[in-house]
Amino acid sequence: MKKLLSLIVVLIVILAIGQAYRLFPPLDLGKYFNSQKSTTTPAPKYINAAPEKSLAEDETVITRVIANALPSVVTVGIVTTTQTPGSIQIDPFNPFGGITQIPGQKQQINQNIGSGFIVTADGFIITNKHVVADEQAGYKVLTNDKKEYKVVNIYRDPLNDLAIIKIEATGLKPLPLGDSSKLKLGQTTIAIGTPLGEFTNTVTTGIVSGLGRGITAGSPFEGFVEKLDNVIQTSAPISPGNSGGPLLNSSGQVIGINTAIAQQGQNIGFAIPVNVIKELLDNFQKNGNSFERPYLGVRYKIIDKQTAILNDVVEGAYVVEVVDGSPAQKAGLQNEDIITEFDGHKITGSDDQGLAKLILQKHVGDTVKVKYWRNGTIKETNITLEAYK
């Protein structure tokens, strides 16, 4: 028995030495001594990240859109002269008054104030009306190739914060216009412009984050504000000076014109839908590429049905003032008349801009039939529309 035990001990020692010095194949002793199954948790299978190629493709789309659009984006500048306020200087040692009035000094302003984009090869450019609001000032356009042009004419849309400006140039590259009625929340947006009137060709990206918004647009340079409805909200950062620049989709099409920012928020910008721009351009072309627009010559306030009933009058456009020498004055319209029909279309209290829209559908020289209420009687007259000057 002792010999057997000694033999087992020797064998164990030999096996131990053999395993330590790798003289024998490795032995899995666990399968002889462990009777229970292993409970080790299998290693987790991680989901591989998206291929680097997809990110590169997204970047390629954006950079391609920017490269194609930059030659069509312009910077709009203002050229004008202002005068500083005068001052009064008092000499306390002069017994005869010693008061001298010092006149203000004239200052030449030559500053970039906004952006725009080319819509025709022969020099028609879209921008915001508030960018070119000063009718006494001159304006210039700086293109992407560093060429400077004088703005020779400006058409300011009376209904929207839009303007068409004209420069004397040929061979320009217009931007393609998209369809804002097909916009969806979450679509990629790319804004290009000149923020703060200084950093030309600045590009920001975001998404369509809201549709059908109502805002108040304005310009810190011009001191002009206007209420706008049905605009696009985007997360692409827009700064003062971006006004008038294009808002693009991933196909490089214009989907809006950058108009305003939310002063109390970050990455909240707004743009007028491109379909409004297309309608403006269509009307402009129908007028023979003319900046002339027809006007009636009245200031009015819309009276809705409820107000009309309460005041025993009729629903329509209440004439607050008739402009001297205007078509309305020549046709006999007076203050306190209420226009009820224009060219067969009834004027209702549901649309403050209803009459203005009807006028803009006409051409300079058109004669329209106008019905109006005066002292309880409906009267009728024909008015020949003239060009607004």
Closest CA to 115 of 230, 204, 227: 204
Residues with Cβ within 8 Å of 335's Cβ and at least 6 positions away in sequence, in order, are 319, 320, 321, 322
Q: Is 130 a catalytic residue?
A: yes
Marked catalytic residue, from 161, 180, 209, 326: 161
Structure tokens at 183: 């916009």
298 class by beta-carbon count within 10 Å (0-12 exposed, 13-18 middle, 19+ buried): buried
Strands 377-384, 202-219: parallel, antiparallel or unpaired by DSSP?
A: unpaired
Q: Strand, coil or helix: what is 61?
A: helix
226 class by beta-carbon count within 10 Å (0-12 exposed, 13-18 middle, 19+ buried): middle
Q: Is 161 a catalytic residue?
A: yes
Report the alpha-carbon distance of residue 272 to residue 274 in Å, rounded.
Answer: 6
Residues with Cβ within 8 Å of 376's Cβ and at least 6 positions away in sequence, in order, are none
Structure tokens at 294: 């027809």
Q: Which helix (H) or strand (E) covers residue 259, if one does?
A: strand 254-261
Marked catalytic residue, from 130, 239, 326, 337: 130
Say which amino acid occupies 320: V
Structure tokens at 106: 């004239």
- Which residues does the annotation mark as catalytic? 130, 161, 243
